[in-house]
Amino acid sequence: MKQELNLQKHVSGIREQIKKNFQGTREDLVGELEDLKAELRHTKLFWEDRRQDFVRGFSSMFGSQVGKIFGRKRREIANGSGDYGSSKRVRQAESSGSLNSGSE
């Protein structure tokens, strides 16, 4: 009988220790998750700022050509034109017939 009581006390002690460890682990994980969320927010803000710098730098390098380049590709995609490789001058020359006129 006395052994049974000692065994129950020991089992109860182990259960309490497991509960404490579980609660401590849970609190640690919640804290780490909050730290991770904060780090992700910081990283996102950093790259959003960098993105704006990249766009400004790209725009300063190519100036007004940026809108023409990307605007044309979007229009071609929207219209279903698959002619992405030919240049604007070649298309203008083809439409005006000046490519053939040079060989006459």
| DSSP classification of residue 77 | H
Residue 63 confidence (pLDDT): 74
Q: CA-to-CA distance for 75 and 86, rounded, in angstroms?
A: 15
Residue of 54, 34, 57 lying closest to 46 (CA atoms)? 54
pLDDT recorded at residue 59? 77
> What's the CA gap between 69 and 84, in Å, rounded?
11
What pLDDT is recorded for position 11? 92
pLDDT tens for 48-95 read 888 888 888 877 877 767 667 666 656 666 676 555 444 555 555 555
Reported as a single tens digit per residue, the pLDDT across 17-59 is 999 999 899 999 999 999 999 999 999 999 988 888 888 887 7
Which whole-number Å values give the CA distances from 78 to 69, 72, 89, in the listed order? 14, 10, 21
Q: For position 4, what pLDDT does the model report?
A: 87
